[in-house]
Amino acid sequence: MPAAAKIDLSSLPEDQRDVVADFLREHADLLAANAVLKAETTDLRQIVQRLEHLVAELNHVVHGKKSEKLDEDDRQLAFEDLEAAVAEVETQHDERASSDEVPRRKVTPAQRNRGNLPADLPRIEQIIEPDSLECPCGCGRMHRIGEDRAERLDIVPAQLRVLATIRPKYACRVCTDGVTQAPAPAALIEGGLPTEGAIAHVLVSKYADHLPLYRQSQILARSGVSIHRSTLADWVGVAGFHLRPVVDRLAEHLKSSGKLFMDETTAPVLDPGRGRTKTSYLWALARDDRAWGGADPPGVVFFYAPDRGGQNAERFLRGFDGTLQLDGYTGYNRLTRPSRKGGDPIRVAHCWAHARRKLKEVFDRDGSEIAAEGLRRIAEVYAVEADIRGSAPDQRLSARQARTAPLVAAFGDWLQAQRLRVSPKSRLGEKLAYIHRHWEGLQTFLHDGRVEIDSNSVENLIRPIALNRKNALFAGHDEGGKAWGRIASLVETAKINGIEPFAYLKATLEAIANGHPQSAIDDLLPWNFKPSS
């Protein structure tokens, strides 16, 4: 057909010229549309190929060999990078679609979660007026009949400012009775550089946003403020000292409960004498009764210990008498003995999630049918828990007695039968023995509607400790480990109570600097914080 474009219309009869001309124009339009479709197809093919590559990488991360899988935190980073790559590809496509070089069909933008802009954020309005308000027809000045409003999120990097306190001095010109001057405002660090807000910012950056102090020092330097990390460390130490009574009171409040969670996680600490780090631990003691509508607010305290010995748990739990939900670590066994120091023997509720995990490890490795059957039975128990989640304790107890108890009894019979069949030295035999050793504690939730089926609540609370461990690598010394646990206790308790950590720490440090009375220390607990308007 390109040859048709060379047709000399003048050589055609006059009554055919218009028909041929219309045909050629339609043909040219079809060629242009075809070119557009080819260009779009090429772009889409490139997008699909890249997305397929990204998805294949992610599938390898999520579903690949166990040794190559990422943990939950790293997996989130993988998802972030995938979404960023997808946005980059789509932006490239949109840019080419809007290019003047090749006409494109209008594409409806993808519906995305664009976030939200809270009403209390400060708003700076930019009113953009037309170049002229005179009517083009010469009727005079036009009148405003409405407006279009679009809001976008703007971010200004951390704004540093200097608070200059000026205290004028006054004296009488007649007498010499002395000089009058207002007293200096209270400060957490007398004569020091930082305000309480600056200290709170450093604490939140380190223990909530997981920014080591040397990185914070680098960020400040980019704004022209040179503050060495050792100075920032001094601020953290001072804050840790003044916040200790608040954390101690938080621990007392938690230990007055009838049911708590406990778990421990590693906290590497530098050991200068050996030129490397040593493995210390942060023990998390948590309360979270939200699953059954408990009146006590949730909270967590992290206790630092240089080792994982069970005597640490015994010391931290001094004064607590109740039910403790935990994993199968043998160090907790001493808590159930009559010889327990610091209280009566503790009633233990073991974690079904750990029991399930043991069987899942075997199933993932060799596809054991016995492990698969155990997982199926545990799934039935969890299905009941899903149905009663959020119910009152008495309702949960009633449902468990009626529906769950028969399932657990059947699981116990099945467990004993499989232990007779499987070698105790095999990998599966070891996992079944683990469940058998903790069988009594695994049944505790059947007799108390307040008790959870697992200890996932406290495991979720210690995840930020793992994030901080990855970023900071280790604590500088044992005292640093104690400060780590102390401030993390307040940060995480604030977060699970829906309190913004910076606002809470700033107000708390200001109250302490102004001499907040020890008798009213409960007012400084995170769940009692009232944000100012």
Residues 88, 36, single domain; the answer is yes
CB contact set of 330 (below 8 Å; sequence gap of 6+): 310
Provide the pLDDT for residue 111.
47
Residues 204, 315, single domain; the answer is no
Provide the pLDDT for residue 499.
94
Query: 99 is written with which tokens?
Result: 């290019």
Nearest to 454 by CA among 373, 358, 344: 358
Provide the pLDDT for residue 483.
81
Final residue of a domain: which of 99, 129, 155? 99
Nearest to 467 by CA among 488, 436, 486, 483: 488
Provide the pLDDT for residue 107.
46
Provide the pLDDT for residue 67.
44
In a domain, 123, yes or no: no
In a domain, 144, yes or no: no
Residues 187, 317, single domain; the answer is no
User: Residue 92: is its pLDDT beyond 80?
Assistant: no
CB-CB neighbours of 237 under 10 Å: 13
Average pLDDT for 204-214 = 87
Strand order in the sheet with 299-305: 299-305, 276-287, 259-271, 323-326, 347-350
Residues 378, 303, single domain; the answer is yes
User: Residue 96: is its pLDDT beyond 80?
Assistant: no
Q: Exposed, middle or buried, 84 (CB in 10 Å: 0-12/13-18/19+)?
A: exposed
Spell out the alpha helix ranges (H) of 422-445. 427-437, 439-442
Residues 439, 306, single domain; the answer is yes
Residues 224, 206, single domain; the answer is yes
Residues 239, 266, single domain; the answer is no
Provide the pLDDT for residue 59.
65
Task: Report which listed range, 69-78, 96-105, 264-273, 400-409, is most confident.
Answer: 400-409
Residues 421, 508, single domain; the answer is no
Final residue of a domain: which of 99, 129, 161? 99
Return the CA Rg of the chain. Answer: 34
Provide the pLDDT for residue 71.
55
Provide the pLDDT for residue 474.
44
pLDDT tens per residue across span 27-41 = 777 888 888 788 777
In a domain, 444, yes or no: yes
Residues 311, 188, single domain; the answer is no
Final residue of a domain: which of 44, 71, 99? 99
pLDDT tens per residue across span 328-366 = 888 888 888 888 888 888 999 999 999 999 999 999 988
User: Residue 128: is its pLDDT beyond 50?
Assistant: yes
Provide the pLDDT for residue 343.
84
If one compares 260 and 233, the residue with the highest pLDDT of the two is 260
Residues 460, 500, single domain; the answer is no
Total residue count of the chain as it appears in this document: 533
In a domain, 49, yes or no: yes
If one compares 49 and 132, the residue with the highest pLDDT of the two is 132
Provide the pLDDT for residue 435.
95
In a domain, 87, yes or no: yes
If one compares 113 and 435, the residue with the highest pLDDT of the two is 435
Spell out the alpha helix ranges (H) of 423-477. 427-437, 439-442, 456-461, 463-472
Provide the pLDDT for residue 122.
84
If one compares 14 and 314, the residue with the highest pLDDT of the two is 314
Residues 328, 387, single domain; the answer is yes
CB contact set of 532 (below 8 Å; sequence gap of 6+): 507
Distance CA 505, CA 490 (A): 8
In a domain, 533, yes or no: no
Provide the pLDDT for residue 301.
94
What are residue 393's DSSP bridge partners? none
In a domain, 33, yes or no: yes
Which of 207-211, 278-282, 370-374 is least confident? 278-282
pLDDT tens per residue across span 433-463 = 999 999 999 999 999 999 999 988 877 776 6
Residues 204, 276, single domain; the answer is no
In a domain, 40, yes or no: yes
Provide the pLDDT for residue 1.
46
Provide the pLDDT for residue 65.
53
pLDDT tens per residue across span 451-509 = 999 988 877 776 666 555 554 444 445 566 788 888 989 999 999 999 999 999 999 99
Task: Quote the mean pLDDT of the chain.
Answer: 82
Provide the pLDDT for residue 476.
46
Rounded to two decimals, the pTM is 0.75
Query: Which structural domain range is residue 450 located in?
Result: 258-472
* Total structural domains within the chain: 3
Nearest to 469 by CA among 486, 456, 485, 493: 485
Distance CA 102, CA 503 (A): 53
At residue 157 the predicted structure's pLDDT band, cuts being 50, 70 and 90, is confident
199 phi and psi, to 5 degrees? -65, -45
